[in-house]
Structure formats: C-alpha cells, structure tokens
C-alpha cells in the first residue's frame, strides 16, 4: 500500500512528524513488545536472500501457504525456540479453540476450525442510488470439528443463508463488536470435509473512502460517478461476508452486473459477458489465484484507457477519466510500468502471475495507491502526469509510488505476511525498492545512494527517537490495533533495516568481517541481530574513540538514543539496560591525503574494544589530530564520535558535510552544543552537490518552525540568508524553456537550483521575492503562465504571500479551471500562504463544507494553513472545532487521521499550546490514540527546547561571523 509521502521527494517537505512538509513562507528582510520471533526473523532473513540470491519469492510463498496448513493461529509452529509471545499465543489459540462450542465469535481472530477454499461472488451495482446487492457461495474446508461458521461482515444486511447438504441451520446472528456474522448448525461439521454456504445480502456504496465506496468527477460540465473498492486492511467485510484475515487465502470468481453505460474491472480479465433487455450487462471475471481477501478489487466507472503489452504478453492498461487519457496524462506511468514488470521478473526470477495488470486512477482515495493484484488503484495525483506543467519533483514522487505498487505485485500479493504485526516486511521491502526501482528507471537520479539518507533514514529517526515509538513488529490485541501497525515506523524503519542487511550481507566485505570476528573468537547470529532491531523500539547512538593501549583498536560504545533524555528517568520501564543492538559498521579511517580500505566490525556490547583489520596504524594513531572515521550511512544508527571529529575538519569537502541533519538530531537532544549544526551549515556555500543542501535545508526548516514566533527570529533568518545568498546568486533562476525534454531533465543541477531558491525565497531574499512577484504579475497581465514548472510552487506561494487579495482570487480561479492534477495541487497549497486571516479562514471552511476541494486534499489544506506562522492558531482552533466531523470522515483511513493530528500539532511549541493539546485529548477521548501520544511528546520536546536551548542558540548567533 502506498501512502502520502511528500515529505522529502518534492523538496518542499520535512519529517512525517516534526516537519512533514514545508510551505515556502517568504520573510521580509525588514515499551518493549515481544512477538513471534521465528516468523519475523526467518522472514527477514528470507528478504536478505531475496535481495542477494534473487530467487526466493516462490519459496516464501510456499512457506506461507504451509503456515496456513500447519498453524492454527496463522503462524509457524515448528521448533521449540520461539519466544514467550509464541507460548502465550499458542495458549490463546488453545483457549480460543476450547470455546468453539461456546462463543468463538468474541475473539479478535476468527476460530481456526475452518479454512476457505473458493468464493463465487455475484454483485449487482445500482449507481443511481448507490446501493448494491450480492450473493456469495463460499466453499470451505473443516479443519477441526465445529458447529459454528464465523464470518466477517460489517454494514451488510444479510438476507438469506442457505447451507448446502443435509445439515440444518439452528440460528444466525450478527455480533457487531467483532464485526462477525455467526451461523450455528444443528450438528458439527467433520474434519477434512468440504462444505458450502450461500449468503445473499445488500448494502450501500459508501461515501467514505473504505470498503466499496463512490467517487465523482466533472466532465464537460456533467458530474459523473464511479465506485471502487479499498479493502486493506479489514474492509472486504464491508462488501461481502468473508474470512477477512490475510492468512485465509482462497480463489475468487467475481461477477458484476450494472447498467451498460458503465464498464467494470476486477483483478482478472473478463471471461464472459451477457446483457439483458433492460440495458444491463453482467461481466464474469476469470478465477483468481489464491490470495487474501484484502487484495480482491473491482470498480464500476465510465473510464477509458491506454494500453501497452510486455514481451511476455501481459496486457497493461491505465484507466482514467476520458479527458485525462485523451491528454496523455497516463502515458508516463504506463511507460514505466511496462519497464518495471520486466525489471521485477528479472530481479525476482519469478514471472508476473496474472495475464493483465490494470492501473486505475481515481479522483479520491484514502492512500496514495493500493496494490490490488491485477487491479492497482491510485489517487489521480500519484499517477497522472502532464509534462507541460509538472515539476521534476512531482515526476519523482509519482515514479516512486508506481515502483512501490508494482513491487507489491510480487512481495505482498504473491507473498503475503500471515498477520498484521509483520506488515513491515512487505511495506518496508516495497519502500526500499522505491529507490532500487527508481535507480533502474533513471540511474542518474542516484536515489538509493543519496535520497534514501534524507527521505528514509533521517525521517524515521525523528520518529524512532521518541519515547512514544514502538517496535516495527507489534502484537495486535484488538481490531483497532491493526490500523496502528501501518505507520512510518513500519514503512521507513523496515526499509532502513532491509537496506542495512542487504548492503552488509550482499558484499564480500561481509564475509571478511565474519572471518575477523571468528579470529577473535566471536560469532554473529543473524537471527539474534534481527531480534534486536525488530523487537525493540528506537536505535543506538554509537560513540567511537581511539584506544591508546592497543594498536589498531578503538573503543566503541552504544546507548539508546532518545530526544527527551528526561524520558529515561520518567519511564524507567521503557528504557532499561536491555536496549542493546548488534550493529554492523562499515568503517574506514582517513585524512586529507588517504582513506584506508573499508572494514566491517560488529558492535555487540554496550562498550568494548574492536580491532580494525586492514586499517593503517599511522592513520589510526593520528585520529585525534587530523584523521577521522568514515561510516557508510547504511543502518538505522547515529555515530557520535565521527561528528565530533568532523567539527575540526568542516572545511574539507571529503569529510561528509552531506549529513548536517544528523547534527541537528544530536543538538536537539542536547548531545552537542546548539551552534554545531549552524557551524557546519556555514560551509554550505562551498558545496556543489545536491544532497548536502537537501539535508541542510531539512534541518533549517525544522529550526525555523521552532523559532518563527520568537522575538529574535530575524537573527536566525539573516544568518541562513548569509549562507544561502552566494549560491543563490551563482545559480540564478531556471529559464522557461518549453522545448526542453521533461524526461531528460538534469536532476542534480535542477534540484540543487530549486533547493537553494526555496531557501532564498523562504528566508526573505529580496531578489527572489521580486522575481516571484514579477512572474506572477506577468502571468496575470498576459494570461500566459511562463513560470518554469520546477519552481511554480515556490513562485505561487511567494506571490500569494507578498501580493494583494486579487492575486489570491486569481490563484483560486486557476485552481478551479485547471485540469492538470499536479498543477491543481500546487495552486491549492499556494492559497494557504496568504497573510490574510480572512482568506485563510475562508479556505478552511470551503475545503471542508463544499465539493470545491477534493476529500483527500482537505487534510493538506488544514496542515498547510497551520505551517503558515500567521495561520497556525487558526488551523489549531479549526482542527479542534471540527474534530468530530474530521474524525468521522477520516478516522478509519489509517494514515489520514494520523497525518492530520501530527501535521496540525507538530509546530506547537509553547506551554499554553501544550496544555491546550492535553485538554483537547481528554475532552475528545483521544487518550489511547498513538498519534495523540506522539503529538504530546513532540510538543513537549518543542517546549523543552525553548526552555533549555533557545537563549544559548541566539547567543551564538549574535556572535556568529558574517561568513
């Protein structure tokens, strides 16, 4: 599943918690959880093998199917070395099964007595009143004797239930607390026998974005409707009675009946089609492979399509609004999908399993995309691309969403985790492959080596350094906990860990490291390594120092990194001595003239001596003077001593100035003085590469949001401008060149220029302001937009902020008249940059109470108004006043609610605002929501930073050199 991640790719964003995105705001210059280790660790090692050996997907698939057959709880049950959690889980299963004759419907999981084999699902869809009726025939096998059939249903009106065979139904009822429908028989079903049941039902096609829901768009002045499914993680039960857990894979045969003016799609191709005299058509789709219920999908719409065919004969179609198809907006995604199917087939050594793959672009969707097997659904903003108006950043973001979803056709659809606590495996793997796949498509982007650092490692470190973090593998106790496992820890930390192991184990250096460890009498157990990374939250900070008593050795220690060090004192049960990792460090030592060969060392203890084999002793001996360590940023770790060494060598380009944001982590947590990140940033003007600027800008924007309401804010903004302006004047502005090839854009140069321009305009460079105002004025007077697409967001936001109300109305008009999806998004965000409180309030009200703003953009409007310093109180008040409406609309949509909560609260930084937040949580009943717990902690750290460090920070700025 793809989720909204504009945090780093479009250059306008920051952390998913502290700085999820940046509105270019011009300034005038005036706990430890145990889980099933065997599954997690075995599966993680299998991922490694998949990456290195590239032939494991089918093996994993078979092993998962074996799990379904052998494990009553959906987990492997072989061996005797499983964790305490396995024992407790097995106990729970036994307890649960012992109650099969009593009330098995009261448990979180379905009773393990039955296993589905096939669904024959027939639906009639009535678009005129947004209802549907259905009939499902379920064939299932009895695993152990029971007289209860327990199925998931939610918001379905069950009409009839017919049991095939001689057995009679004694009673049937719906048990809403667990969203199940219970059918009690007169006699028990016998093990190893196959049974069938027939259920008829009806329901509404919902307005909310889950289950089988409806959407609409306007074409030639006429509003048209469509209906589409979103079943992940637990919403197939809203569309038909089923065993709605991922372990219960089965085959499906779907039939959709609807008016002939519509067309219908599903996972498989249409096998046969019939029509009747009333103008209705009935499409019968081919039987699917065995798959989980949440990957079943269908749609009823008026769309048209473009088509491509792979060398293996797989038909790829991109379906969208007719005007979008006609304009060619789907051509780019179709082109890269064809290439990606071949890439993944070659990489995994497994052919794509279905005869076709449809990409469906819908006007609204709760996520960026959903990887339904053979029918992947995307929100329009993540798949439709107009080269004439789209920025390179938009192209990059779209590319990575498509790469992510196509990867899931193998790792997720074909190979599926058996329960939700291990969702990080499939999502972390697909998130990692966003960068691998993007590098395959566009090698010059260098995504895996560069952007992974800022977009993934840095982002998840912000979250995982909080006391409210959690292990990436979480036990699910209640159905509401399922939503909780889909967060950035699962996606980004999962990707970081997979990348760490892939880079370490996939190179000869790893074997050399193991040999060195064995010579020292040590051994590395990869299972134990992964145990530490997956079953405990957080990450280590590693300190390296020279060992004066032994040649070629260093002392390395580790501790749990936490932003709020007081949290360790206040929550000793969370931060005990058990936090310890086995850490692979790829290490070298060097100076201005020489860098030694790399070596891998494993840090296993809290502190210890490590020998650096293959590193010249004369370099190591000079470490405290002019040499420093180099560590590849492959893992989910921070290395403190390296940064201390860098402080005396920042003028040397080779000393990794590319990572100033890590310094921000340390200084924010009090490990380093507050001036350290600013000192390093003072050398940026000499930097010619994109990545250091990208990393630095993320740290600067975070600091800016902490300081933008303080009395001395101009000290900070003026300092930043002094560092940025030399590079800004050197790079200049991009020329409007309509003849340039969008696909061949010079990524590094374009993005560096954009990054510097954004900083200049945001922090108040007068030339940048004048240029933006001039371009907006020219657009208004000529009605011809000559603004280069790559910087339109910067120009629009700057113009709206500096110019009068007429400009805001002009942008509002253009937002409604534009048909390019990417352009509409940029225009809408620009409207939130206004200095006019009345206009900001008007925008908030229109977004929530009218159809003028798409549903999925309402949250973005509120968040972006909150990032405007003049709109922060407005957005915070609006969020609280409209919480009931917002929560009812987006509460079940996984990331949407979490994104809204974090986006509105992350920059609150006063004691009064902290108290308002705590009071609101109490009155709204949000005490148990993880997003609110994180919000409180983040605001607490903001408040604490101001108390402890603000004056120190400004004292240094007052004495800072002009450089």
Q: How many secondary structure helices (H) and strands (E) does the chain include?
A: 33, 26
Chain mean position to CA 864: 19
Q: What are the residue numbers of the active site?
A: 405
The answer to whether residues 190 and 241 belong to one domain is: yes
Angle at 496 between CA 646 and CA 37, to 5 degrees: 130
Q: Which of 302, 323, 353 is the last residue of a domain?
A: 302
The whole-angstrom separation of Cα 686 and Cα 691 is 13
Give tens-digit pLDDT for 404-462: 999 999 988 898 888 888 888 889 999 999 999 999 999 988 888 888 888 888 888 88
Tell me the CA end-to-end span of the chain in Å, nearest whole number.
47
What is the domain-level CATH number for residue 298? 2.60.40.1730
pLDDT of residue 931: 86
What is the maximum span of the chain, computed from C-alpha positions, in angstroms?
93
**What's the confidence (pLDDT) of residue 559?**
83
Task: Tell me, yes or no, whether 787 and 908 share the same domain.
Answer: no
Our CA angle for 956, 961, 963, nearest 5°, is: 135
> The pTM is what?
0.86
> What's the whole-number mean pLDDT along residues 910-936?
89
* Residue 929 resides in a domain: yes
Residue 743, classed as helix, strand or coil, is coil
Most confident of 329-343, 542-556, 667-681, 943-957: 329-343
Q: What is the dihedral of CA 807, 810, 811, 813, to 10 degrees?
A: 160
Which of 422, 460, 428, 559 has the alpha carbon at shortest distance from 934? 460
> Which DSSP string do the residues of 303-369 spell out, in sequence order?
-EEEEEE-TT--EEEEEE-HHHHHHTTTHHHHHHHHHHHHHHHHHHT---SSSEEEEEEES--SSSE
pLDDT of residue 935 exceeding 80: yes
Residue 52 lies in a domain: no
The beta strands (E) that lie in 471-623 are given as 540-546, 553-560, 583-590, 599-603, 607-611
Highest-confidence range of 523-527, 651-655, 705-709, by mean pLDDT? 705-709
Could you tell me the CA-to-CA distances from 823 to 320, 436, 826 in Å, in that order?
Answer: 17, 28, 5
Residues 565 and 711 both lie in one domain: no
For the residues of 612-639, what is the DSSP string, one character each?
A: -TT--HHHHHTTTTT-EEEE-TTSS-EE
Contact yes or no for 589/622 (Cβ under 8 A): no
C-alpha dist (Å) from residue 924 to 9, 81, 860, 934: 34, 44, 22, 16
SS (H, E, C) 517-545: HHHCCCCCCHHHHHHHHHCCCCCEEEEEE
Sheet strand arrangement including 628-631: 599-603, 583-590, 628-631
Q: Which of 592, 613, 647 is the last residue of a domain?
A: 647
Q: Which residues contact 66 (CB under 8 A, 6 or more apart)?
A: none
Residue 777 covered by a domain: yes
| 266 is a domain residue | yes
* pLDDT exceeds cutoff 60 at 97: no
Distance CA 56, CA 422 (A): 18
Same domain, 573 and 672: no
Supply the pLDDT for residue 422.
83
Residues 889 and 924 in one domain: yes
Q: Is residue 378 part of a domain?
A: no
Q: Work out whether the CA dihedral 340, 341, 346, 350 comes out positive or negative.
A: positive
What is the spatial order of strands in the sheet that 298-301 belongs to? Answer: 211-219, 222-230, 298-301, 263-266
593 and 711 share a domain? no
Q: Residues 154, 297: one domain? A: yes
- Do 726 and 840 lie in one domain? The reply is no
Q: How far apart are CA 45 and CA 39, in angstroms?
A: 10
Q: Are residues 175 and 277 in the same domain?
A: yes
What was the pLDDT predicted at 176? 93
Calculate the average pLDDT of the chain: 81
pLDDT over 60 at 728, yes or no: yes
pLDDT of residue 620: 45
352 within domain boundaries: no
Output 679 or 653, whichever has higher pLDDT.
679
Whether pLDDT at 85 is above 50: no
Residue 609's domain is classified under what CATH number?
2.60.40.1910
- CATH number, domain at 873? 1.25.50.20
- 125 and 244, same domain (yes or no): yes
- Stretch 535-563: mean pLDDT, rounded? 78
Segment 322-326 shows an average pLDDT of: 94
Task: Report the distance separating Cα 181 and Cα 160, nearest Å.
Answer: 12
**Predicted confidence (pLDDT) per residue in 759-787, tens digit:** 999 999 999 999 999 999 999 999 999 99
- Same-domain pairing of 793 and 854: no
Query: For position 258, what pLDDT does the model report?
Result: 97
**938 within domain boundaries:** yes
DSSP, collapsed to helix, strand or coil, labels residue 301 as: strand
Consecutive H or E run containing 226: strand 222-230
Strands 131-142 and 114-126: antiparallel
pLDDT, tens digit, 9 for 90 and up, residues 260-274: 999 999 999 999 999
Q: What is the pLDDT of residue 504?
A: 66
Residue list for the binding site for Zn(2+): 404, 408, 427
Q: Indicate the helix (H) or strand (E) that contains 253.
A: strand 251-259
Percent of the chain past pLDDT 90, that is, above it, reads 47
Using the predicted structure, report yes or no on whether residue 376 has a pLDDT greater than 90.
Answer: yes
Mean pLDDT (whole number) for 228-252: 96
pLDDT at 676 over 90: no
For residues 292 and 152, membership in a common domain is answered with yes
- Domain tally for the chain? 5
* The pLDDT of residue 48 is above 80: no
- pLDDT at position 742 over 80: no
In a domain, 8, yes or no: no
CA atoms within 13 A on the CB side of 697: 33
**804, 833, 862 - which closes a domain:** 833
Domain extent at residue 948: 836-962
Cα 314–chain centre separation = 29
Band (78; pLDDT cuts 50, 70, 90):
very low
pLDDT band for 54, please (50, 70, 90 cuts): very low
pLDDT, residue 722, reads: 93
Q: How confident is the model at residue 101 (pLDDT cuts 50, 70, 90)?
A: very low
| Three-state DSSP class for residue 219 | strand
* Tens-digit pLDDT profile for residues 799-849: 999 999 999 999 999 999 998 888 999 999 999 999 999 999 999 999 988
pLDDT, greater one: 707 or 624: 707
Which residues sit in the known binding site? Answer: 404, 408, 427
pLDDT of residue 718: 94
Bigger pLDDT: 165 vs 592: 165
């Amino acid at each position: 599943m793809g989720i909204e991640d504009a945090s780093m790719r479009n250059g306008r964003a920051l952390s998913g918690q502290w700085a999820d995105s940046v509105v270019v705001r011009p300034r005038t210059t005036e706990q430890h959880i145990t889980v099933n280790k065997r599954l997690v660790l075995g599966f993680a090692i299998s991922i490694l093998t998949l990456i290195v050996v590239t032939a494991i997907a089918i093996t994993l698939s078979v092993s998962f199917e074996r799990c379904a057959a052998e494990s009553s709880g959906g987990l492997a049950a072989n061996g005797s070395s499983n964790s305490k959690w396995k024992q407790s889980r097995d106990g729970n299963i036994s307890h649960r099964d012992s109650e099969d004759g009593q009330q098995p419907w009261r448990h979180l999981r379905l009773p393990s007595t039955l296993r589905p084999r096939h669904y024959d699902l027939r639906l009639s869809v009535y678009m005129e009143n947004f209802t549907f009726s259905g009939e499902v025939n379920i064939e299932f096998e009895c695993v152990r004797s029971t007289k209860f059939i327990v199925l998931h249903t939610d918001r379905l009106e069950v009409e009839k239930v017919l049991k095939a065979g001689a057995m009679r139904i004694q009673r049937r009822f719906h048990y809403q607390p667990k969203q199940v429908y219970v059918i009690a028989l007169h006699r028990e079903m016998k093990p190893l026998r196959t049974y069938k049941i027939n259920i008829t039902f009806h329901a509404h096609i919902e307005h909310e974005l889950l289950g089988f829901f409806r959407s609409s768009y306007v074409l030639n002045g006429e509003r048209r409707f469509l209906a589409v499914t979103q079943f992940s993680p637990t919403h197939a039960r809203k569309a038909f009675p089923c065993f709605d857990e991922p372990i219960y894979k089965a085959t499906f045969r779907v039939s959709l009946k609807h008016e002939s003016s519509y067309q219908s799609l599903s996972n498989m191709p249409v096998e046969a089609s019939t029509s009747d005299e009333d103008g209705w058509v009935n499409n019968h789709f081919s039987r699917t492979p065995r798959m989980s219920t949440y990957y079943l999908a269908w749609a009823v719409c008026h769309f048209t399509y473009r088509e491509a065919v792979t060398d293996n004969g797989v038909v790829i179609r991109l379906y969208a609004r007719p005007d979008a198809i006609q304009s060619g907006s789907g051509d780019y995604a179709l082109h890269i999908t064809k290439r990606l199917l071949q890439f993944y087939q070659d990489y995994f050594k497994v052919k794509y399993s279905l005869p076709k793959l449809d990409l469906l672009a819908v006007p609204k969707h709760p996520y960026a995309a959903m990887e339904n097997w053979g029918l992947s659904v995307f929100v329009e903003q993540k798949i439709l691309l107009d080269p004439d108006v789209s920025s390179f950043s938009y192209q990059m973001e779209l590319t990575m969403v498509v790469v992510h979803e196509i990867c899931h056709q193998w790792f997720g659809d074909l190979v599926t985790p058996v329960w939700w606590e291990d969702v990080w495996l499939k999502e972390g793997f697909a998130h990692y492959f966003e960068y691998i796949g993007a590098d395959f498509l566009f090698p010059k982007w260098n995504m895996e080596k560069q952007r992974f650092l800022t977009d993934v490692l840095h982002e998840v470190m912000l979250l995982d350094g909080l006391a409210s973090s959690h292990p990436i593998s979480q036990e699910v106790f209640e159905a509401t906990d399922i939503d909780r496992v889909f967060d950035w820890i699962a996606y980004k930390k999962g990707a970081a860990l997979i990348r760490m192991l892939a880079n370490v184990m996939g190179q000869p250096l790893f074997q050399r490291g193991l040999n060195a460890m064995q010579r020292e009498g040590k051994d590395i157990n990869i299972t134990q390594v992964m145990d530490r990374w997956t079953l405990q939250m957080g990450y280590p900070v590693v300190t390296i120092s020279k060992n004066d008593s032994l040649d070629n050795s260093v002392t390395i220690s580790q501790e749990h990194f936490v932003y709020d060090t007081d949290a360790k004192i206040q929550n000793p049960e969370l931060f005990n001595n058990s936090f310890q990792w086995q850490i692979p460090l790829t290490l070298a030592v060097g100076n201005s003239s020489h860098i030694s060969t790399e070596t891998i060392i494993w840090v296993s203890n809290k502190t210890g001596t490590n020998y650096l084999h293959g590193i010249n002793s004369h370099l190591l001996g000079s470490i405290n003077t002019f040499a420093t360590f180099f560590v590849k940023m492959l893992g989910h770790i921070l290395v403190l001593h390296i940064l201390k060494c860098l402080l005396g060598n920042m003028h040397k380009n080779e000393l990794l100035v590319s990572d100033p944001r890590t310094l921000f982590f340390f200084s924010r947590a009090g490990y380093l003085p507050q001036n350290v990140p600013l000192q390093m940033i003072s050398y940026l003007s000499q930097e010619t590469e994109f990545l250091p600027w990208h990393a630095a800008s993320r740290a600067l924007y975070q600091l800016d949001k902490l300081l933008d309401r303080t009395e001395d804010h101009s000290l900070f903004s003026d300092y930043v401008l002094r560092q940025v302006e030399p590079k800004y004047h050197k790079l200049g502005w991009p020329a409007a060149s309509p003849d340039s090839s969008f696909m061949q854009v010079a990524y590094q140069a374009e993005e560096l220029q954009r990054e510097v321009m954004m900083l200049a305009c945001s922090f108040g460079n007068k030339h940048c302001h004048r240029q933006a105002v001039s371009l907006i004025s020219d657009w208004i007077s000529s009605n011809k937009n000559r603004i280069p697409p790559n910087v339109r967001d910067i120009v629009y936001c700057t113009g709206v902020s500096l110019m009068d109300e007429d400009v805001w109305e002009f942008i509002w008009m253009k937002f409604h008249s534009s048909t390019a999806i990417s352009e509409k998004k940029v225009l809408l965000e620009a409207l939130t940059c206004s200095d006019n409180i009345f206009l900001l309030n008007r925008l908030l009200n229109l977004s929530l109470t009218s159809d003028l703003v798409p549903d999925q953009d309402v949250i973005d409007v509120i968040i972006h108004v909150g990032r405007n310093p003049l709109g922060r109180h407005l957005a915070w008040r609006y969020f609280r006043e409209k919480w009931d409406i917002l929560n009812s609309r987006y509460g079940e949509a996984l990331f949407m609610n979490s994104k809204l909560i974090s986006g509105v609260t992350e920059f609150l930084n006063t004691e009064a605002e902290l108290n308002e937040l705590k009071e609101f949580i109490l009155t709204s009943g949000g005490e148990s929501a993880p997003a609110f717990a994180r919000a409180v902690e983040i605001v607490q750290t903001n408040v604490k930073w101001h108390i402890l460090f603000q004056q120190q920070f400004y004292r240094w700025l007052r004495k800072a050199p002009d450089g």
